[in-house]
Structure 1
Amino acid sequence: MLNILESISDATTGIDTLVKLFNTLRPKRAADAGKAIANVRTLTRLLKADPAHAQALRDYIVRLLGERRHSSLYTEIGVLSNDGFFTELKRRIAYRLLPPALGDEYLSDALDQLAHEQTDHLWIAAVPAADWLDLFDTIFTAVPGMRNVMLAGLLDAIRTLSYRVAAIGLEPKLTNFHTEIEVFDSPFTEQNREVNAYLDGYQLLLAGEAAEVEDARHLLVMLDQCEDVVAKIRKKALVQGTSIALTYLLVTLTQSVDRLRKLLFLVDTPDASAEARRAAAVALMLELIEAHNKKYTVRDLLADNIHLLARNVTENASRTGEHYVADKRSQLGGMFLSSAGAGVVIGFMALFKILMSYLRAAPLVEAFLFSMNYSLGFMFIHLLHFTVATKQPAMTASRIATGLQSRDGKYLDIDSMAELVNKVFRTQVWAVLGNLATAIPVAWLIAFGWQRITGHHLVSPDKAMHLLHDIDPIGSPALLYAAVAGVCLFLAGLISGYYDNKALYTRFAQRVSQRRGLGRLIGQQRLDRLGVYLENNLGGLMGNFYFGILLGTIGTLGFLLGLPLDIRHVTFSSANFATAIVGLDHNVSWQLVLKSVSGFLAIGAVNLMVSFALALWVALRSRQVRFKHGFALLKALGRRFITAPVDFFLGARDTAPLLPDESTIKR
């Protein structure tokens, strides 16, 4: 470190010497905060001990700062570009593989050369701000014109960010979604007028043509109004849906306004002390270095954008999930009947799949036939307003996640949360029982009737034993395949929420009603009703369609790739069990029956747990909620079971006073 300081002279140019000095501050391990602090303090002591070294380093850094353009450092690092999500994604992937060339014109390139390690922000942030300020004071004490060297770049960045905010505020994707911007004076354009007037006055002040400049109070009010509009649009998007493009614009707009506010604080904020500005400068330095280290990180881009879109997707799934939560015994009875109806349809779907397997079609053709059987069957169940039990978790998980966070960011009362989880649990149990209550007898009747009508069994004894082996929880990978089916259920829930969001955002009902040709064919009133139905049910229909595609193709995909991939679904497994029993003429040992029944029940449990866990994880991440009271929640559920085991599974009687709804419980 001392050798590097001694090598700095008036003839020193380029950034290589500063890079070497910065490397001496970097500890071998980014997590070694003690070493980083010691290195910074050592450099400070060396500079204080020899003012000549401090003078040489000071002149060297000032020359570097004077030779480079500063504005891009503040306007680009940590602020998304206006290129759009997918363009930014491609750029980051390309630069991760091959970083861009660095030049000698921009200060941002200098930062790239200094903090070239992706973990630099960790040890830099670990050093106390007081130590950094002490080092800066030692280097830059009494530097003539130092403020003007930095000030010009800050002012240019403020103007650039202001124009960017105004341009984003006039984007059609944003103005068409929030038309109030066009009706009233847009705060995005108004802030630009204020910024230009403010900077023009500042330039006159620097040129000595004005005694003072008007402070930034009114400008900060305009930025507050910009943030209020962004908040309104995000709230509106939860009801009307959103898109990746709109979400990206909102993230970019928020980052630009936030950076603009920070730069204004550094330049001129009323009633701000010098110490406050110094602390803000260090905070901005740390922010820029961390953003620089992560500027080509794809994960951060996804985190900034996708969680907002996922929030809308899961929000729509949450509203759907409210229909899957029964409060009273009469509602549980309704859920049971609805699920029983689905079980009847699934009994016939199991029949069609067996018949399709006898065609011995090519693998891809067979996958297509199986997929259409599943997809059309599930869509038919949706049209009849029946319920497939395993479709619930992806919806109810979002419903639970909605109840996990209050408006002030605190968690709900544990007992209230336990009540909601208990409702979800017993509703799903009764839905599964409803599916099984009809799927098994319907499949048995079909197999028995087939044998009576045709004179031979629907499945041969070998095929029957194969069906029973497929649901063996110990002797086959049935539970692994059940987990794969749980992942498919989870994906179907996301797809459903995505299309619900898309239908709202694109005004699907209005688009359908505008098809004049179709209106002349079926009548405008019927077309309007069709549009409303599709807008309200597009997510459910598409979720069921793609769920069928997933179930029908996973097995073939595993066969083609040579991987152990297949699916096991509780309702189809139970129907296959009934078909196999008839195929064996009921000559089955009680041990095999017990193993098979426990097998499809275990498959159902895995289906539910996997899909529910994944959906709950995404719902929590989309809301940026961290729920850390799982053990307390389990204890509360245990108390409910011990206190009232009947009500735990059946719910309160309809005549009993109801517990308050989750949304009305005081946080």
Structure 2
Amino acid sequence: MQVTLLKMTTAADSAQVPLLVELVDGLRPRRASDERAAIHNVQALCYLLESHPDYRAALRRALLYLLSTCWQVPLYTETGILSNETFFATLRRRIGLRLLPPVADPHSLKDRFAQLFHRNDDYEWLANVPSQNWFELGRALHFEEEQDHDSIARTQVQMLEAVQILSCRLAALGLEPEIVRNCPEVQRFESPFVHQNVEALAYIERYRTAMIDDALPKDDDAQILVLLDQCETLAAKVRRSAARQGVSVSLTYHLIRIRQHIERMRLLLDLIDPDSDRDSRAERLLTVMIGLVRAENRKHSIRDVFSENTELLALQVTDHASRTGEHYIAENRREWMAMFRSAAGAGLIVGFMSLVKLLTAKAHLPLLLEALAFGLNYALGFMLIHILHFTIATKQPAMTAAKIAASIHQQTSKSGKKQLDLDELAQLIVKVLRTQFIAIFGNVALALPVALAIALGWKYAFGAPVVDAAKAQHLLHDLSPIASLAVFHAAIAGCCLFLAGLISGYYDNKAIYNKIPERIAALPWLNKVLGEHRTRRVAGYIEHNLGALAGNFYFGMMLGTIGTIGMLIGLPVDIRHITFSSAYLSYAAVTLNFDIGLNVLLISLAGIVLIGLTNLAVSFGLALWVALRSRKLNFRATRPLLGKILRHFFTYPGDFLLPPRSPKPQPETPAEPGRTDNAETAREWIRQRG
């Protein structure tokens, strides 16, 4: 760093920017996570500047030259703020910029800024350095020794232009149709988004006039800040309305941009205001500088596009899933047995679905037609299971994971801590696990004997088994976790289960957002055919079941087509589902006259268990990850739960299989006879006490 500073003292103005890049390279630690090295480098620079007046004078001139010769407005109005593009346009643009980066403009402070902090992780080590060290570096520059009024005035003017641009964009965002749709009073009353633009333009004009005439006082920005608060309140109201009426990616995009514009305007107004507190202004300037560096470092990040634009949508989707997940949690033995009966009904239907699957495979249809037939068999079967109020066990994790994440969020919102009331949360997970167990048991307990009965009846009726010996051996081979890719294929099925859960939440949100039930209820031809009462019932059914039906349909199509896709592209891709795998074991056993050997039987049963565990673990893990991310949480928030769940398991292992008995309601004790006028109640009280 000392060599670089020495070069600055004699270098021409045009060579200052490369030397600034070299100086930042000297400050940068080898690893962005090395906090000690970053602090040491900043302290060393402070020492050099305090010890050598010529060094700090050269660095001041370089910084002022950079500000005076570069156009600053794009840095304030574009960096760290989403552009006026749709989600997919932003995605395409970022992919294009990553493949073919643009040419830097030497006259743009935004591009010079990116040149100074060119490493993708620069924002990490900048944030690791405490604020006090950065303030010491600012004091070590001693800007009071050299007041460049022209550079300061030029910076103020460009900040005012940035405020004007941001204010106009904010006014336009506040009148977007989707914002108005969720907050209709914007049309009836004067919008704070429009009003803040009027105030901002007047403030800028008065400020520029005061810069020319020193006798005039600088204007106050208090009214603009009040209007920005009102804009923020209105945006929060739109978010709450979206929770009831549904949300879209574009609405999420507008809300994020509104928040970003308000925050940036507040910062610029604070920096422009000469009466603002110097220490708080320095703190905010440091915060925004680190934010600008992060935005420049990640300006081509595709991942950030998804995380920024899908946060509210993911939250809404998982909220719908969490409300559905409440139906998959048995609180007592009555609900536990009801879940068993529901799962058993699904196992009964799966026995017939597996028969249709095997017969379709025997038909040797063309590949695409075969994939379509497999998919429709699964899809229609799963939809029938839902219509009959039965339960496929593997559909539960995607719903219950969202419910668990929602419970964590509710706890954190009360006191700001991420680990509160973990005992109650552990109890919820225990309920989920035992409900999942009985659902799987119900599926398999009926799928195995029903498939066995169908196979025996088929053999008796037609004189031949459903599948031949070669197919039976193939079915048994597919169940082996050692000789086949059964566990890997079960993981693929778990991913499909996870996607089906997201699809269910998406369509539930879509039904609310697009008012599909109301539009169906208003269809003239449907009212004429079914009548007004039946049409309303159909609309109500669609409102509460569209997501589940769509999720089941897409899940079935995914299960039916993935094997064919794997065959077409030459990859060992297929699916394994615990309920169907148990049914296939019965068909194979009947074909081989139950002569399958004890080893093969044990391996097949172990394969079925591993397939089920993999189905559940993958779908639950992915669903919980998305649900936590949508609430800005991570798996660290759930770590303390593991110990509590293990202690509960060793203390009360039976709770993981069977709900505890509900306490019997105690009869009410009537009042003493001396305190009542009811003689019959008094006699009953005496009789109970002998």
Amino acid at match of 1:99: P
* Distance change in 2, residues 1:515/1:155 (3 Å): same
> Does structure 2 conserve the Cα–Cα contact (< 8 Å) formed by 1:215 and 1:269?
no
Which of 400, 404, 413 aligns to 1:400? It is 404
What aligned pairs does 1:190-229 form with structure 2 within 5 A after superposition? 190-208=195-213, 211-229=216-234
Cα shift readout 1:124-158 (whole Å, capped 9, x = no counterpart): 33444444444444263331314323211222212
Task: State how far apart, in whole Å, the 2-side matches of 1:412 and 1:57 are.
Answer: 50
- Could you tell me the TM-score, scaled by structure 1's length? 0.92
The aligned counterpart of 2:582 is 574
Q: Distance in 1 between matches of 2:11 and 2:108?
A: 22
Counterparts of 2:468 and 2:64, CA distance in 1:
88
Which residue in the other structure is 1:550 paired with? Answer: 558
Cα distance in structure 2, aligned partners of 1:133 and 1:12 = 28
1:280 to 270, 279, 284: 284
* 1:65-464 pair list within 5 angstroms: 65-137=67-139, 138=141, 140-141=143-144, 142-145=146-149, 146-208=151-213, 211-268=216-273, 272-405=276-409, 406=411, 407-408=413-414, 409-410=416-417, 411-464=419-472
CA distance in 2: counterparts of 1:316 and 1:404, whole angstroms: 16
- Offset, 1:94: 1.1
Equivalent residue letter for 1:222: L
Question: Which whole-Å CA distance do the structure 2 matches of 1:532 and 1:430 have between them?
Answer: 31
How many residues align? The count is 656
1:540 paired with 2:548, answer yes
Letter paired with 2:428 = L
Which shifted more, 468-477 or 296-305?
468-477
Contact 2:350 2:447 in 1 (8 A): yes
> What is the CA–CA distance in structure 2 between the aligned matches of 1:573 and 1:132, rounded to whole Å?
63
User: 1:246: Cα distance to partner?
Assistant: 0.6
Shift of 1:437: 2.3
* Partner residue, 2:521: 513
SS in 2 for 1:436: helix
Contact 1:217 1:269 in 2 (8 A): no
In percent, how many aligned pairs have the same letter? 45
In structure 2, what residue type is equivalent to 1:245? S
Q: What amino acid maps onto 1:234 in structure 2? A: R
Write the mapping of 1:629-648 to structure 2, written as runs, cut at 5 A: 632-648=640-656
The answer as to whether partners of 1:57 and 1:139 remain within 8 angstroms in 2 is no
- 1:606/1:50 Cα in 2 relative to 1: closer, same or farther (>3 Å)? closer
CA contact (8 A) 1:8 1:57 kept: no
SS of the equivalent of 2:300 reads coil
- 1:662 aligns with none
CA contact (8 A) 1:216 1:269 kept: no
Deviates more, 1:279-288 or 1:443-452: 279-288
Q: Say whether residues 1:483 and 2:491 are aligned partners.
A: yes
Q: Give the deviation of 1:378 after TM superposition.
A: 0.7
**1:96-143 CA-partner distances (Å, limit 9, x unpaired):** 122222224322122122222223323333444444444444263331
- Three-state SS of the structure 2 residue aligned to 1:404 is helix
The answer on whether the counterparts of 1:238 and 1:312 sit within 8 Å (CA) in structure 2 is yes
Q: 2:632 maps to what in 1?
A: 624
2:683 matched residue in structure 1? none
Is the CA contact 2:5–2:58 (under 8 Å) kept in the aligned structure 1? no
Secondary structure of 1:628's counterpart equals: helix
Gaps of 5+ in 1: 659-667
* Alignment pair present for 1:611 and 2:614: no
> Cα–Cα, structure 1 residues 653 and 508, in superposed 2: closer, same or farther, change >3 Å?
same
1:483-502 aligned within 5 A: 483-502=491-510
Matched residue of 1:333: which SS?
A: helix
Partner residue in 1 for 2:571: 563
Contact 2:319–2:402 (8 Å) recurs in 1: yes
User: 2:8, 2:16 within 8 Å by CA — same for their partners in 1?
Assistant: no
How far 1:535 moved relative to its partner?
2.5
Equivalent position SS for 2:466: coil
Q: Aligned partners of 2:268, 2:76: CA distance in 1, in Å? A: 8
Change (3 A) 1:15 1:332: same
CA contact (8 A) 1:4 1:20 kept: no
CA shift at 1:629, angstroms? 6.4
Partner residue of 1:650? Answer: 658
Amino acid at match of 2:8: L
Offset, 1:82: 1.5
Between 231-240 and 496-505, report the one with greater CA deviation.
231-240
Counterpart-to-counterpart distance in 2, 1:154 and 1:256: 14
Amino acid at match of 2:98: R
1:4 aligns with 2:12: no
Structure 2 partner of 1:664: none
CA distance in 2, matches of 1:46, 1:209: 38
**1:370 Cα deviation after fit:** 0.6
Which secondary structure state, in structure 2, belongs to the residue aligned with residue 416 of structure 1? helix
Q: Which amino acid aligns with 2:203?
A: Y
* Displacement after TM superposition at 1:351 (Å): 0.5
Q: What does the per-residue CA deviation read over 1:386-411, in whole Å, with 9 as the maximum and x for residues that have no partner? A: 11111010000101111113223333
Q: CA RMSD in A?
A: 2.5
Distance 1:599 1:121, change over 3 A: closer
Report if aligned partners of 1:404, 1:627 keep a CA contact under 8 Å in 2: no
Whole-Å separation in 2 of the counterparts to 1:38 and 1:594: 63
**C-alpha separation in 1, matches of 2:274 and 2:173:** 25
Aligned partner letter, 1:224: D
Change beyond 3 A, Cα 1:34–1:374: same
C-alpha distance in 2, partners of 1:228/1:568? 50
Offset, 1:356: 0.4
Of 595, 604, 611 in structure 2, the residue corresponding to residue 596 of structure 1 is 604
CA distance in 2, matches of 1:210, 1:334: 82
Structure-2 change in CA distance of 1:450 and 1:133 (3 Å): same
- 8 Å CA contact 1:238–1:315 kept in 2: the answer is no
Q: Equivalents in 2 of 1:244, 1:199: separation in Å?
A: 34
Structure 1 pair 455–639 and aligned structure 2 pair: CA distance change class (3 A): same
